[in-house]
Structure 1
Amino acid sequence: MTRLRYDGGGDWYANPSSLDNLLEQIRLRTGIPVADRPAEVGAADPDLADHPYLYATGHGNMSFTALEVERLRAYLYGGGFLHVDDNYGLDESFRREIARLFPDTPLAEVPLEHSIYRIFYEMPDGLPKIHEHDGNPAQGFGIFLDGRLAVYYSFESDLGDGWEDEGVHGDAPEVRESALRMGVNLFLYALSATPAR
C-alpha cells in the first residue's frame, strides 16, 4: 500500500496514522504479511509500477504534470489500482485530473453488486459514511478499464478518518469498524485484480 504524492497545494499527507492502522488490521484480519508502514511514491517515479495499490487523499488541490498523467495512465492500464479518498475539498481537482487521464471514460458509480463490496466483508450498502460534513450520502465511483475497476473514488465518506488513531476524530467504534472493513476489501480487491509482476 503506497501513498501517492502530488503537487497543487493539497495535503497529500493528510490522516498520517490512517494507513499504518489499516495495514495493521489487514495483517491481523487476513494473515497477509504486509509492511508495517506505507510507502510513498510520486506519479512520475520510475518505480511506480512496483506499487500495486496507490492511495491518494487530501483537502485541497491535486494536480499532475503531463508526464505524471502519462505514467499514471500507463500504470492503471498495466494493472495498477488507484484509490482516491476525498477528505472533503479534493473533489473538484480530482475530477479535473482524472478527466485528463481518461477523457473518454467518465467516473461511474460502482454498483453494489461489485465484488469490492463483498470480497472479504459483506458491505450490502456499499461505501460507508464515516465523517459528516454536509449530510450528503457516501458514494463510490470508479473508472473501469477493460472491465476491471482500476480507480476507486470514495466520495463524501472520508474513509481515512475512520482509519486514523481512535482519538483523532472521535468516531464511534462501529463507524471505525465499517471504515476498516471497507479498507480491507479495497486492499484485497486491488491484490486480486492486479496481475502478477
Structure 2
Amino acid sequence: ETAGLAASTKTRELAASDPNLFNYPIAYMHGRHKFEWTRAERERLQQYLQNGGVLFADACCSAAPFDKSFREAIAGLFPDKPLTRIPVTHELFSTKVGHALSQVRRRGADQTSGQGVINNAAIRSEPILEGIEVDGRYVVIYSKYDLSCALERQSAIACEGYVSEDATKLAVNIILYAMLQELK
C-alpha cells in the first residue's frame, strides 16, 4: 500500500511451462531436493525472463541438493552468465525500492561451544543474494540461505538462513523490485 502498487495476496502454483506465467511479474520457487526442468519448462522460463519476468528462489534451510540443482538449471538457461553476487550498493537493497538493507541477520549453526551443542547464532552481515543480470536488470534473484522458512516464522536451529524480520524485508524488496520492472 505504501509503495503505491496494487497487488493481490492470492497465490497460484504454476509449472514453469504454464502459459499463464506471463501474467505475473515475479515467479517464486523454493525447495530442498534435487530437481530438473523439462525442455518445455526451460524454454518458457527463458522467454518469461527475457520479456520482463523475474525468478526469485531460495534453498529451504540452505539445502545443498536444491542449491546444486538450481545453479545447474540456471547455468542451462544462461550458459554465458553465471550467478553472481548482487552488490549491496544495488538499488534492490535500498529505500529506492523498499527497505535499506546494508546489514541483515542470518541464522547459522554455531558448533563452537565444544560441548556438542548446536546454538542458533545470529550473524550480522551484508545480505547475500546472487543473480543473473540481463540488459541492466536482474531477471534471477537467488538466495542459497533460507528465506522461505523464515517467512513462515520457522527458525529451526539446523535451518541456516535469514531471521524472520530480515527475510521479510528482503522478500518485500525483491517483490517490489520485480513489480517495478516492465513486462514486455
TM-score, structure 1 normalization = 0.73
Secondary structure of the equivalent of 1:40? coil
Structure 2 spans left out of the alignment, 5+ residues: 111-120
Structure 1 position 73, deviation (Å): 0.6
Structure 1 position 129, deviation (Å): 4.6
After superposition, where does 1:40-189 map in structure 2 within 5 Å?
40-87=13-60, 88-89=62-63, 90-118=66-94, 119-125=97-103, 128-132=104-108, 139-156=128-145, 158-164=146-152, 166=153, 168-169=154-155, 175-189=163-177
In structure 1, distance between residues paired with 2:84 and 2:163: 25
After superposition, where does 1:10-21 map in structure 2 within 5 Å?
none
Contact map agreement 2:85 2:130 (CA 8 A) in 1: yes
Q: CA RMSD in A?
A: 2.5
Secondary structure of the equivalent of 1:169? coil
Farther off after superposition, 134-143 or 55-64: 134-143
- Identity among equivalent positions (%) equals 33
Contact map agreement 1:130 1:161 (CA 8 A) in 2: no
Match of 2:12? Answer: 39
Cα deviations by residue, 1:25-84 (Å, 9 ceiling, x for unpaired): xx5x64644323312111111111111110110100121011111111110000000001
In structure 1, distance between residues paired with 2:143 and 2:165: 16
Which one has the bigger strand percentage?
A: 2
Secondary structure of the equivalent of 1:105? coil
Alignment-mate amino acid for residue 161 of structure 1: C
Cα deviations by residue, 1:102-160 (Å, 9 ceiling, x for unpaired): 111111110111111012110013xx45443589976211000111111001112x111
Structure 1 position 175, deviation (Å): 2.9
Higher Cα Rg, which structure:
2
Alignment-mate amino acid for residue 121 of structure 1: H
Alignment-mate amino acid for residue 84 of structure 2: A
Secondary structure of the equivalent of 1:47? helix
In structure 1, distance between residues paired with 2:156 and 2:147: 14
Give the paired residue count. Answer: 162
Alignment-mate amino acid for residue 133 of structure 2: F
Structure 1 spans left out of the alignment, 5+ residues: 1-26
In structure 1, distance between residues paired with 2:109 and 2:71: 19
